[in-house]
Structure 1
């Protein structure tokens, strides 16, 4: 992605946050933080307080799972909750098409169209959580309740 594309993704996230009445608390970091562990280290928070925005295919349709960085997503639990046959990790191309953002920086907001979303209840264990802001070097501070509201997602235990 060009720097203009990255700026556009970041600005779409910022607009999504502000449009939803959320504080613009995007923090741009000096280096990329493509993993929950790297983000937690940089931000000085527990890895479980990192809200990973992961895109899956649920019977072919995009599904956003905002998962705690402290565990892996149990796709069988997600499929049972949704009442679909299969949930599988999406390809980078599918992720970009659904979100307009690249893997490693996907945000829970700022997508071209709303995505069906599950928000991991494990994030509620943390008074503040950090989510990607559309690029791999930016994060924003929020709460579990705000994530549920921002995404219109279903709170679900999705962890393995």
Structure 2
């Protein structure tokens, strides 16, 4: 199978949208990703998958820290900004958690210290120990079959 077929097949798995952030010398960098999962409760570990061609890769290697912002349905523009889909400069509001920049008003924000990394094909998996978190109310932004969705629309489609 070719890469496009595989990518389309993986798109049938509905996911939330995260923005992964880190900071080097006051310069905040981030990227949109749906390759995120919880790994362990004790210790509290999560993993993110970063393409080897990503500009964020070397920054996480250097900082050894990253933040995760799980986006709400009202934050599609942030997803598009950090995915490079919106090219013009837009204002992005950050909070800090555990000293790491995260997106304001995200459903969940986490700060993590990198405890391990593993090469996996054309990606690097960063396992992070969660040092702090903040939970907000709201509905998640969902990505399914190559399109942004929200739960209300998905619920209506099921009826």
TM-score by length of 2: 0.30
More helix by share: 1
Question: Greater CA radius of gyration, 1 or 2?
Answer: 2
